[in-house]
Chain A
Amino acid sequence: MTVEKLALTTTSPAPKPKSEGKADNALATELTRRLGPRKVLSNLAERLSYRFDAIQFGVTPLAVVLPESTEDVIATVKAARRAGVSIVGRGAASGLSGGAAPMQPSVVISFTRMTDLQIFPQRREAVAQPGVITLAVTEAARPHGLIYPPDPASFRTSTIGGNLGENAGGPLCFKYGVTGDYVTALDFVDAEGEVHTLQRDAYDLAGLLIGSEGTLGLITSATLRLTPPPRFTRTLMAHFAEVGQAAEAVSAAIAAGAVPGKLEFMDGACTNAVEDYLHLGLPRDAGAVLLVDTDGDDLDTVEEERALVEAACLEAGGHVRRAEGEAEAAALWQARRSVSPALGRIRPQRMNEDIVVPRSVLPEVVRQIRALGDASGLKLVQFGHIGDGNLHPNILFDPRKESEEAVHDLAHKIALVALRHGGVLSGEHGIGTMKRDFMRDAVDAETMTALRNVKRAFDPADALNPGKILPDETHA
Chain B
Amino acid sequence: MNNDIPVRELGPQGEVMAHAVDACVHCGFCLPACPTYALLGDEMDSPRGRIVLMKEVLEGGLDLLDAAPHLDRCLGCQACVTACPSGVPYGELITSFRGWSEPQRQRSAFDKAKRYAILKALPAPKLFSVAARAGQYAKPLAPALPAALRGPLDLLPEHVPAMQPSPAVTPARGPRRGRVAFLTGCAQQALAPNFNAATLRVLARNGIEVVIPGGQGCCGAAALHTGARDEALRLVRANLDAFNPDDYDAILSNAAGCGAGLKEYPVILHGLHDEAKAQAFAAKVQDISEYLATLARKEGVEPFMPASRPLKIAYHDACHLAHAQKVRSAPRELLRLIPGVSIAEIPEGDLCCGSAGTYNLEQPELAGQLGARKAGHILSTAPDLVASGNIGCHTQIQSHVRRQGSAVPVMHTVEVLDLAYRGEL
Report A's interface with B, CB cutoff 8 A: 9-11, 16, 18-19, 21, 41, 43-46, 48-50, 52-54, 57, 66, 92-94, 110, 112-113, 133, 154, 156-158, 273-274, 276-277, 338-345, 348-350, 399
Contacts and interface: CB of A to CB of B under 8 A. Distances in A.
B334 to A, nearest CB: 21
Contacts of B88: 344
A344 B61 contact: no
B27 A48 contact: no
Interface stretch (B36-44, B193-201, B267-275, B394-402): B36-44
B61 A16 contact: yes
Contacts, number: 121
A9 B67 CA distance: 24
Interface of B: 1-2, 4, 22-29, 31-32, 41-44, 49, 52-53, 56, 59-63, 65-67, 70, 84-88
Contact of B2 (A46, A274, A345, A348): A348
Contact of B1 (A10, A16, A41): A10
Given A45-B56, A49-B43, 5 more contacts: A45-B62, A45-B67, A113-B41, A156-B32, A157-B32
A37 B247 CA distance: 60
A157 B1 contact: no
A266 to B, nearest CB: 13
Given A49-B43, A338-B85, A348-B2, A343 B25 contact: yes
29 contacts: A10-B2, A16-B59, A16-B61, A45-B53, A45-B56, A45-B70, A46-B42, A49-B43, A49-B53, A50-B43, A52-B52, A54-B26, A66-B42, A93-B28, A93-B43, A94-B27, A156-B32, A277-B86, A339-B85, A340-B85, A341-B27, A341-B85, A341-B86, A343-B25, A344-B86, A348-B1, A348-B2, A349-B1, A399-B2
Contacts of B32: 133, 156-157
Contacts of A133: 32
The 3 A-B residue pairs whose C-beta atoms are closest, nearest first, are A344-B86, A16-B61, A344-B25
A36 to B, nearest CB: 15
Nearest to A113: B41
A19 B86 CA distance: 32
B371 to A, nearest CB: 24
A106 to B, nearest CB: 16
A405 B129 CA distance: 64
B66 A45 contact: yes
A48 B56 contact: yes
B45 to A, nearest CB: 9
B44 to A, nearest CB: 5
B66 A9 contact: no
Contacts of A157: 27-29, 31-32
Nearest to A16: B61
Nearest to B326: A279
Given A44-B66, A45-B70, A338-B85, A348 B22 contact: yes
Nearest to B21: A348
Contacts of A156: 29, 32
Contacts of A349: 1-2
A46 B44 contact: yes
B2 A45 contact: no
Nearest to B64: A45
A348 B24 CA distance: 7
A386 to B, nearest CB: 20
Contacts of A345: 23, 86-87
Nearest to A277: B85
Contact of A112 (B27, B41, B53, B62): B41
A44 B62 contact: yes
A350 B26 CA distance: 12
A112 B26 CA distance: 17
A277 B44 contact: no
Contact of B25 (A19, A46, A274, A341): A341
A93 B23 CA distance: 18
A51 to B, nearest CB: 9
Nearest to B57: A45
A43 B27 contact: no
A348 B23 contact: yes
Contacts of A341: 25, 27, 29, 84-86
A107 to B, nearest CB: 15
A169 B166 CA distance: 60
Nearest to B55: A48
Contacts of B59: 16
